[in-house]
């Protein structure tokens, strides 16, 4: 049984599952950014051969899943459960995107924290031995998100400097159980463990990696009463602080126990608030912190204001930039904390606040 820390929001897995492969698919602006050369697939017109932004986003999700599966030589029908989500109403990008894969589906919504939610549930299911392979996928698209939350692109509205630029991208992650029973549940395991390269597809199957999901800290809704949907960094920073500090307390750690603490899309405004709030709790994460929304774009040349956002932002940055460093052992332990602003056009038009949520995923080199 996995370690349940009493009175906490966290789990530490006794049989921590492997994150055995990941894939990133992005649009053109992301391809031109600092991480451009690291993405597995990019597209020039951001439509990926589709007719609508929504269909384009679905295509990205499907391609990211297919790429992640392909890298590990695992077939879609071998995946037990898929955990996926996006920012659109009724999670339509996911429903339409993963339909063709025909994997039993748990549809999720956690705003831009959804990649953390999906990885948490995939890891929890794999660590419980509910299946050998689990897939986690999230996406966002600048065109579909602007239409969903703000204005159609043709309207060319002005954006305040505190606004984020939604990342066009999808990241998919294949999680493999390390529970002994699950490992033995497929006949091919023993064969492939002893087989060399070039002995056919079964032998090429990836069994392990150097990245394990060691634990999770599931976030609560944190609401400081902010109402400005054009300043999501400020709305989400309290949730990021809450989850990071909760992780420290639950696991008996400080910032010194992590090589990096990586938030999803707080951006420049949210980062400074996060530093202040965390300092108020007696920790200083400034030297360990990295924000995916500040990493994926070059603010100076790409005019992205506060930084990138969207549940594709943290996902593609994790897949392309963070995981390779953990895989190589450059970073031994990372706390990955995607952050979400829980709002809809209806809620902010009705004057409701924009609460935040953040989920923490502990990734370790092994």
Residues 127 to 146 in contact with its own copies, rule: CB under 8 A? 127-131
For the chain, the residue count is: 366
Q: Shortest approach of its own copies to residue 196 CB, angstroms?
A: 27
Tokens representing residue 158 in the block: 């002005």
The reply on whether position 223 binds its own copies by CB under 8 A is yes
Q: Report the residue from 22, 23, 65, 108 that binds its own copies according to the rule CB under 8 A.
A: 108
- To its own copies, the closest distance from the beta carbon of 126 in angstroms equals 10
Residue 85 interacting with its own copies (CB under 8 A): yes
Instruction: Please tell me whether residue 69 binds its own copies under the rule CB under 8 A.
Output: no
What is the C-alpha separation between 285 and 252, in angstroms, rounded?
A: 16
What DSSP string describes 96-165? Answer: HHHGGG---EEEE--GGGHHHHHHHHHHHHHHTTS-SEEEEEEEE-HHHHHHHHS--GGG-----TT--E
Q: Which residues of 215-224 are buried (b: 16+ CB within 10 A; e: fewer)?
A: bbbbbeebbe
Which of the residues 178 through 197 are near its own copies (CB under 8 A)?
179, 181-182, 185
CB of 114 to its own copies, least distance (A): 8
* 239 vs 266 by CB, closer to its own copies: 239
Per the listing, tokens 């960094």 go with 233
SS3 212: strand
- Taking CB under 8 A as the rule, does residue 350 contact its own copies? yes
In the bound state with its own copies, the residue whose beta carbon lies nearer, of 111 and 213, is 111
Site for its own copies contains 109 (CB under 8 A): yes
Nearer to its own copies by C-beta: 41 or 92?
A: 92
In terms of Cα–Cα distance, which of 327, 344, 345, 333 is closest to 21?
327
Q: Applying CB under 8 A, does 65 fall inside the site for its own copies?
A: no
The reply on whether position 4 binds its own copies by CB under 8 A is: yes
Q: Is 352 in the site for its own copies (CB under 8 A)?
A: yes
Q: Which positions touch its own copies (CB under 8 A)?
A: 1-2, 4, 6, 9, 11, 52, 54-55, 80-81, 85, 87-92, 95-96, 98-99, 102-111, 117, 120-121, 124-125, 127-131, 147-148, 179, 181-182, 185, 218-221, 223, 342-347, 350, 352, 355, 357
């Amino acid at each position: 049984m996995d370690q349940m820390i009493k009175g906490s929001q966290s789990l530490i897995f006794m049989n921590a599952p492997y994150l055995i492969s990941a894939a990133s698919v992005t649009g053109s602006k992301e391809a031109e950014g600092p991480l451009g050369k690291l993405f597995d697939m990019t597209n020039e017109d951001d439509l990926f051969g589709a007719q609508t932004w929504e269909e384009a986003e679905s295509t990205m999700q499907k391609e990211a899943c297919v790429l992640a599966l392909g890298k590990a030589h695992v077939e879609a029908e071998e995946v037990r459960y898929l955990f996926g989500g996006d920012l659109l109403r009724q999670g339509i990008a996911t429903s339409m995107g993963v339909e063709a894969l025909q994997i039993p589906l748990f549809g999720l919504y956690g705003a831009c924290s959804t990649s953390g939610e999906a990885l948490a549930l995939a890891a929890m299911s794999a660590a419980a031995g509910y299946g050998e392979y689990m897939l986690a996928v999230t996406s966002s698209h600048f065109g579909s998100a602007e239409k969903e939350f703000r204005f159609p692109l043709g309207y060319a509205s002005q954006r305040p400097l505190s606004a984020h630029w939604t990342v066009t991208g999808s990241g998919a992650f294949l999680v493999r159980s390390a529970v002994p029973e699950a490992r033995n549940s497929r006949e091919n395991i023993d064969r492939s463990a002893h087989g060399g390269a070039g002995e056919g597809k079964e032998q090429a199957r990836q069994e392990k990696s150097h990245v394990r999901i060691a634990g999770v800290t599931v976030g609560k809704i944190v609401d400081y009463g902010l109402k400005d949907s054009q300043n999501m960094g400020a709305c989400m920073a309290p949730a990021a602080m809450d989850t990071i500090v909760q992780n420290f307390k639950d696991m008996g750690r400080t910032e010194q126990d992590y090589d990096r603490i990586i938030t999803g899309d707080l951006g420049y405004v949210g980062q400074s608030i996060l530093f202040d709030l965390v300092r108020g709790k007696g920790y200083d994460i400034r030297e360990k912190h990295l924000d995916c929304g500040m990493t994926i774009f070059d603010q100076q040349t790409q005019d992205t204001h506060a930084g990138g956002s969207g549940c594709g932002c943290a996902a593609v940055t994790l897949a392309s930039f963070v995981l390779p460093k953990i895989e190589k052992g450059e970073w031994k332990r990372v706390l990955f904390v995607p952050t979400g602003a829980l709002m809809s056009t209806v809620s902010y038009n009705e004057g409701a606040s924009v609460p935040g949520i953040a989920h923490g995923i502990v990734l370790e080199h092994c």
